Amino acid sequence: MNELTFDDLRAVNVARCEDVFHPINEWSPTDWACAMAGECGEACNEIKKLRRLDGADSDFDTIERRAELRLQIGKELADIVIYADLLAKRLDIDLGRCVVEKFNEVSDRRGSTIKL
């Protein structure tokens, strides 16, 4: 898959959740939000590790280590998006529409002509 839409994500995300985990409504919005926040914390921890390499003079600071950390950060960011989509589903929110509206709102507020 080269391109992913919010609709594509929603379809497979909900199907997988209900297939191998549990029904969407079995978790409260708070449960979904806390899961998403946990993944954000994990991403922040990996980012902290990457930041620690800046200015470090050690054997741990290698191109491979930085690439490994970026890969892990990407995985954690993906987890955040996946949980955000499931939370949006639980609350009957069209996440794609909300992202477009919010992006354009900030563009307007900042005087940018760049919009979705």
pLDDT in tens, 80-109: 999 999 999 999 999 999 999 999 999 999
For the chain, which domains are there? 6-110 (1.10.287.1080)
Strands (E), the chain: none
Question: DSSP states of 14-51 as a string?
Answer: HHHIIIII--GGGS-HHHHHHHHHHHHHHHHHHHHHHH
Mean pLDDT over residues 69-88, rounded?
A: 98
Instruction: Enter the pTM of the model.
Output: 0.91
* Residue 9 CB partners (closer than 8 Å, separation 6+): 81, 82, 85
Q: Which amino acid is present at 56?
A: A
Residue 30 in this model has a pLDDT that exceeds 80: yes
